[in-house]
Amino acid sequence: MILVVCSVVDDAAVKLAEEIRSFAAASVLTCRDLAMSKCALRCPDVVASEINLHGHRVMANEIRGAVNLLPAVFPDELYFYPDSEREYQAAEFHALLTFFLAALPCPVVNRPTATSLVGPYSSRSAWLHVASNLTIPVAEVRLSSEDWANSQVMQAPGSPIEVVCLHGAVLSGSGPPAEYACRLAAAAGVEYLRASFVRNDVGAALFSVSTVPNLRDAATRDGLIRLCHRWAGAQ
């Protein structure tokens, strides 16, 4: 079984799971699925944990890999709870998914941490700080309170250079930006990373980073399919 963890409104994730099912068992996993079906998560015996997906029991040791497309659990995701409960329930589901995806014994793209469901850093400033420590050129930026709330969707000015890395390979991009992105992904311990660079006097400087796979990018989708083929073949 290969899981695609996603929002209840992510049609692209549903299509990805359908494509994976052409060669392996696969299913989307949303917060609604977890809320409406029984699950039993065990610690420290994580491999004995089980979830219920659309009427089928799946043991943790049957999961060959997970593609995580959910950066956080927001209250609006939990529309099936009363308004007064959604904020509390969102925190509970966020904690549950953090434990489950972090503890799974299979590969996860990307594995969560205490700060984000899709990697170690949730803010743009944190990524720029890590890059600077790696001697990767960083663009001069000015942050505002709005930037903190929208760090994952900021757009670089002009014509940015975009690089996508997955499982140590460059899916798109080349030259020094590709080398910078791979170094950053390795240092952060993430399987997937999309980095935007801007041109400056030194050539290219990092502007922003996202660790949420962009399924509308053909190279990313194809790369994930190849990776899922590899997971399926490891059975």
pLDDT digit string, tens, across residues 16-28: 999 999 999 999 9
Q: What is the pLDDT of residues 201-226, one digit of tens each?
A: 778 999 999 999 999 999 999 999 99
Confidence band of 141 (pLDDT split at 50, 70, 90): confident
Residues 6+ apart with CB under 8 A from 199: 158, 159, 161
Which DSSP state fits 112?
Answer: P
Distance CA 216, CA 209 (A): 17
Q: What is the mean pLDDT of residues 176-197?
A: 96
| Structural domains for the chain | 2-116+219-233 (no CATH), 124-211 (3.30.470)
pLDDT given for residue 18 in this prediction: 97
Distance CA 163, CA 209 (A): 10
pLDDT given for residue 154 in this prediction: 56
Please say if the pLDDT value at position 52 is more than 60.
Answer: yes
Whole-structure pTM over 0.95, yes or no? no
